[in-house]
A and B are shown apart, each in its own frame.
Chain A
């Protein structure tokens, strides 16, 4: 019965288990989506709705220099949708914590961090899916990439990095929330100003004084401007734009790294506290 050796497993074995445990938990999350497909709406239907809504309903009323509105719009919607990616991991982690399943995991000889990595892997997969769907819907409504291949790839890489950072924010939120319902409220208070007081849908320069400054230093604006620049889409920047918007790629990269440097250690610490007896 206890024929397993008493020696502690070596480093290579532990790394292999770390990976296989994380993938196992990611598969569990994917299986959940199959039971509750609504959870995938954020990543599928919602971005298409935003593209159509802004392209056809508001698009006629908004004018952006240097190209059509749709050319401008897509960079903003890509970043906005990935910001909404905070909600997915926050809700699933808060739900797991209230349902006691984490106690089951903690009593098993699996890697402790696999729980977080499992969520990271499955949610990164759904963010990538959202990215693909939005790109496709953009192409359908007439948006195009005008830069060369290296710049286009850099644009997508930046988007994936941003999605990754937002997932960590979401995990932290899930670990801080007392209930899954609390997540929704907090997430919307966080995400709406972040994505609307920005250059997401209209150039920052067209916002009233005060809001304009907020928008100019908003990380979402930096990201949207960087993506537009890398794809060769109109950025609609006034010549007097604030520094972050003058150097969008650099500041977008800086924001992503800053968020990760702050949020990753906090998340790991919070996870340990939440699951310590």
Chain B
């Protein structure tokens, strides 16, 4: 509203997807976002990755016109997010980090209201609400007050609301946080369908695996700045795909364990002496049995040997040499 009158200042190379140039947001002394450049071609998926407090939500809020940038510019669907905010809103859908649905209305009435506020004709709003309720598995609960919904159901309804306007550009802020594995898989499938249909998608997550599953490009944020960017394969090539972790009974074995593991390593292994743990990026096709044999042959007294996917922490470690700034560990965020 305050920016009516302001002339458009589209970032260079603006297109029907999302483009940002030097985007920044300051809260008092804190730059929540700083010098962020983004380029999300139409019909592609960008995964914004980062720990709590990295600036993901701030970026989403600016791109969806909920917050004004302190620096830089951005375009969504070819429109300036500040000067043409009203028209940007006609072309976007948003499911924020916390569900924004009306607890005192039923799921169906929530969706029909959102549809009407997208200025859809009544009959179309009604039909689309029904279709989305069905697609997101909420049809049985369609006429029940939303305040009785579980967290996962609220999130699904919020997502349905973001799809009511059939937006060409969709923003999802931590869409799978709080969902069970089944719900997570269903959501991934749904998002894949939308993207195949031409939707441009920007989603944030704290999980490397999720970004890897969905995104064409990943941007890793740390304390408001981009610390890594590129297609998932490229990032994974930098950090290695899988990790093998060995936990020891005592400190003595640490060096010999690291040595024994180097035969299977695809990069530098990391030793955490306090936790008596050695972590190694494993070469593709490494068999756990062979690792155990090698450790045994080296006389290492291992309490636990296991294989896991690379995590966001591993990315930070590989990119910056530190663990980033996890204000809250991802597991806590999940429990919230």
**A interacts with B:** yes
Instruction: List A residues at the B interface (Cβ < 8 Å).
Output: 1-2, 4, 6, 8, 17, 20-21, 24, 28, 31-32, 35-36, 99-101, 103-110, 112, 272, 276-277
**What residues on A are CB-neighbors of B77 within 8 Å?**
2
**Shortest beta-carbon distance from A114 to chain B in Å:** 8
Nearest-neighbor residue (CB-CB) of A17 within chain B: B119
A100 CB contact (under 8 Å) in B61, B68, B98 = B98
B61 CB contact (under 8 Å) in A1, A20, A104, A277 = A277
With contacts A8-B87, A103-B96 taken as known, whether A35 is within 8 angstroms of B117 at the C-beta atoms is no
B62 within 8 Å of A (CB atoms): yes
B109/A101 in contact, CB under 8 A: no
B168 within 8 Å of A (CB atoms): yes
B166/A1 in contact, CB under 8 A: yes
B89/A103 in contact, CB under 8 A: no
Per-position 1/0 for B117-156, Cβ under 8 A of A? 1110000000000000000000000000100000000000
A109/B89 in contact, CB under 8 A: yes
**What residues on B are CB-neighbors of A21 within 8 Å?**
117
A107/B65 in contact, CB under 8 A: yes
B214 within 8 Å of A (CB atoms): no
B117/A108 in contact, CB under 8 A: yes
A109/B96 in contact, CB under 8 A: no
B334 within 8 Å of A (CB atoms): no
**What residues on B are CB-neighbors of A106 within 8 Å?**
65-66
A31/B104 in contact, CB under 8 A: yes
A-B pairs under 8 A by CB, number? 88
B114 CB contact (under 8 Å) in A32, A35, A104 = A104
B113 CB contact (under 8 Å) in A24, A36, A276 = A24
CB interface residues, B 84-102, toward A, < 8 Å: 86-87, 89-92, 94, 96, 98-102
B299 within 8 Å of A (CB atoms): no
B118/A1 in contact, CB under 8 A: no
B166/A35 in contact, CB under 8 A: no
B166/A107 in contact, CB under 8 A: no
**What residues on B are CB-neighbors of A107 within 8 Å?**
64-66, 89, 92, 94, 96
Instruction: List B residues at the A interface (Cβ < 8 Å).
Output: 1-2, 16, 61-62, 64-68, 77, 86-87, 89-92, 94, 96, 98-105, 109, 113-114, 116-119, 145, 161, 165-166, 168, 197-199
* B contact face: mostly helix, strand, loop, or mixed: loop
A100/B166 in contact, CB under 8 A: no
Give Cα A112–Cα B86 distance, bound, in whole angstroms.
9
Give Cα A31–Cα B67 distance, bound, in whole angstroms.
30
Nearest-neighbor residue (CB-CB) of A31 within chain B: B105
For this complex, 8 residue pairs linking A to B, each with C-beta atoms less than 8 Å apart, are A1-B166, A2-B91, A17-B119, A24-B117, A32-B105, A36-B104, A107-B64, A276-B2
**What residues on B are CB-neighbors of A108 within 8 Å?**
89, 114, 117-118, 165
B68/A277 in contact, CB under 8 A: yes
A109 CB contact (under 8 Å) in B105, B109, B118 = B118
Give Cα A277–Cα B64 distance, bound, in whole angstroms.
11
Give Cα A109–Cα B100 distance, bound, in whole angstroms.
16
5 closest Cβ pairs, A-B complex: A277-B67, A104-B100, A109-B90, A110-B117, A109-B89
**What residues on B are CB-neighbors of A31 within 8 Å?**
104-105, 109
Give Cα A2–Cα B170 distance, bound, in whole angstroms.
13
**What residues on A are CB-neighbors of B199 within 8 Å?**
1
Give Cα A4–Cα B166 distance, bound, in whole angstroms.
11
**Shortest beta-carbon distance from B93 to chain A in Å:** 8
Given contacts A1-B198, A31-B104, 15 further A-B contacts (CB under 8 A): A6-B87, A20-B116, A28-B102, A31-B105, A35-B145, A99-B100, A101-B102, A104-B101, A106-B65, A106-B66, A107-B94, A109-B89, A109-B90, A109-B119, A276-B68
A101 CB contact (under 8 Å) in B2, B101, B166 = B101
**What residues on A are CB-neighbors of B100 within 8 Å?**
99-101, 103-104
**Shortest beta-carbon distance from A259 to chain B in Å:** 24
Nearest-neighbor residue (CB-CB) of A24 within chain B: B116
**Shortest beta-carbon distance from A194 to chain B in Å:** 30
Give Cα A112–Cα B87 distance, bound, in whole angstroms.
13
A272/B90 in contact, CB under 8 A: no
Give Cα A100–Cα B98 distance, bound, in whole angstroms.
8
**Shortest beta-carbon distance from B120 to chain A in Å:** 11
**What residues on A are CB-neighbors of B94 within 8 Å?**
104, 107
**What residues on A are CB-neighbors of B145 within 8 Å?**
35
**Shortest beta-carbon distance from A264 to chain B in Å:** 16
Nearest-neighbor residue (CB-CB) of B98 within chain A: A100
**What residues on B are CB-neighbors of A100 within 8 Å?**
96, 98-100
Candidate in A24, A28, A36, A104 with the most chain B CB atoms within 10 angstroms:
A104
**Shortest beta-carbon distance from B111 to chain A in Å:** 11
**Shortest beta-carbon distance from B161 to chain A in Å:** 7
With contacts A24-B117, A103-B96 taken as known, whether A32 is within 8 angstroms of B65 at the C-beta atoms is no
**What residues on A are CB-neighbors of B99 within 8 Å?**
100
Give Cα A21–Cα B114 distance, bound, in whole angstroms.
10
Nearest-neighbor residue (CB-CB) of B78 within chain A: A6
Give Cα A151–Cα B22 distance, bound, in whole angstroms.
65
Give Cα A1–Cα B62 distance, bound, in whole angstroms.
24
**Shortest beta-carbon distance from A129 to chain B in Å:** 20
